[in-house]
Structure 1
């Protein structure tokens, strides 16, 4: 039995998983923002679960830039964990009883899909995760490509167009254009606030989808959103030549979104002469991820499972 832990900016999901990736028990608690409190919370979770079952190891999914050795260069919105040797700390605090693997959250999704999801049997694919920001996992020749420092797959930092003339250019990045919250919701909120300064900003993209036919601001924001996600995907096509692109995040469970995204990608592919020539030859299909809420736990445990059985 394995312990799986999926750390998010607001919630930590954790549970027990079998050696075939089945989640047999899971719970969730708020994410502590202070470093010592966060570490103590993880140790407490491990002790609670280890008291119930014979544990073979611990797999942890984390936001941010995570080195293969479990060192966090960054930790997403949990700023107090930046530059943190988390794996070494946890090994010490658990008396080195269990092997521990710490993996980036989007890489964990990519691993999970290879194990028991829509990437089974695939050796070269890309996973794009759309949420508050844009994350990514790259699988090359059957294994995660993490780059020299663990930063590979930070697709949200890619620039799309229209750089501001001065200052921070991240406003033109995929995070602020193709993400669900920082992109779609934020652009919609800006449009609504320009019309009505008393508008209450939203963070729920479902409101925008539901009002597309009645609200011209929602329609405009969605049109731009689909375009920017599509352009991001075209850049991934030509950078990695994948056999499959998987879209993760809660929005990928919306069949209407997935179908319209495919149509938008096809539209812009045909307008790019070189890519248009390759349609039907090398341009890979786009699918939603099979696993959703449990993908982080499952993927981190899969890497652990590989390590133990190698």
Structure 2
């Protein structure tokens, strides 16, 4: 049995996971923003399981940001107090447990390989749409991290015309195809511009419902969201030629979103002469991730499971 912990900007989700990727005793707590309270909270979660179970073999942690193989967090997403923290060593020292730490998008990709929609794949990409855009690259069955641990930061890619001055990240995928920083932000900006007294929404489901109801602002923003995401996916397919691209994040479970994305991709691919020609010889399918909100917890413990199976 392993302790799986999935750290998000707002919540820490955690559970026990067995060698069949089954989850037990799952719960969640708010994420402390300061370093020491955060470390104390994670330690308390693990120690509570240790007190109840004597068969825990290790701790797997999924976390946002750029994470090195030794557990050093170069960045930590919105949890800025953890920048420069070796989370693996901190938790190991406090609990005495074998600990592994993995980037959250990589954890999703690993989980899908273990018990999800990538079980029969060896070369695939996973893109997670949430507050920002996370990515996992799997080559020959192994996560590819790059020279500095930043491989898979698909959200940094720039696909828009650059602003004349200032931060060019405003032209990045993070600020156009993520759910919060992209879809919701752009919808709210358009809404307030047209209706200054309107109330903003940060629930993508509400925006998609308004899209169904043919609200003009929702139609414009969601159509552009589908197009920007389709362009990003086409670029990734052209660069990596993966067996599949899996899309994770809560929005991936929305059938309306997925149907709109597939329709947009087909239209764009038809208009791209080279792609339209080569598709007859095979092309990368876009699939929803299977494991939804449990993927981070499951993927976090997979390295421990793999190690136990090989020993």
TM-score band by shorter chain is over 0.9
**Equivalent-residue separation in structure 1 for 2:101 and 2:49 (angstroms):** 18
Instruction: Give SS of 2:293's match.
Output: coil
Deviation of residue 281 (structure 1)? 2.1
Q: Identify unmatched segments of 5+ residues in structure 2.
A: none
1:58 equivalent to 2:44? Answer no
Q: Identify unmatched segments of 5+ residues in structure 1.
A: none
Instruction: Give TM-score scaled by structure 2 length.
Output: 0.97
**Equivalent-residue separation in structure 1 for 2:232 and 2:173 (angstroms):** 7
Which residue number in structure 1 is paired with residue 182 of structure 2? 183
Which residue number in structure 2 is paired with residue 140 of structure 1? 139
1:95-134 aligned at under 5 Å gives the runs 97-134=96-133
1:78 equivalent to 2:79? Answer yes
**Equivalent-residue separation in structure 2 for 1:87 and 1:159 (angstroms):** 32
**Equivalent-residue separation in structure 1 for 2:170 and 2:104 (angstroms):** 23
Deviation of residue 52 (structure 1)? 1.4
**Equivalent-residue separation in structure 2 for 1:149 and 1:200 (angstroms):** 42
**1:112–1:299 CA contact under 8 A, matched in 2:** yes
**Equivalent-residue separation in structure 1 for 2:179 and 2:44 (angstroms):** 33
Instruction: Give SS of 1:279's match.
Output: helix
Which residue number in structure 2 is paired with residue 287 of structure 1? 287
1:232 equivalent to 2:232? Answer yes
Instruction: Give TM-score scaled by structure 1 length.
Output: 0.97
Per-residue Cα deviation, 1:125-149 (whole angstroms, up to 9, x for no partner) = 0011111111111100100011112
Instruction: Give SS of 2:72's match.
Output: coil
Instruction: Report the more deviating stretch, 207-216 or 14-23.
Output: 207-216
Per-residue Cα deviation, 1:29-79 (whole angstroms, up to 9, x for no partner) = 000000011011111111101111211111000001111111100000000
Which residue number in structure 1 is paired with residue 207 of structure 2? 208
Give the number of the structure whose residues are more often helix, by fraction.
Answer: 2
Tell me how large the CA RMSD over aligned residues is.
1.1
Deviation of residue 262 (structure 1)? 1.1
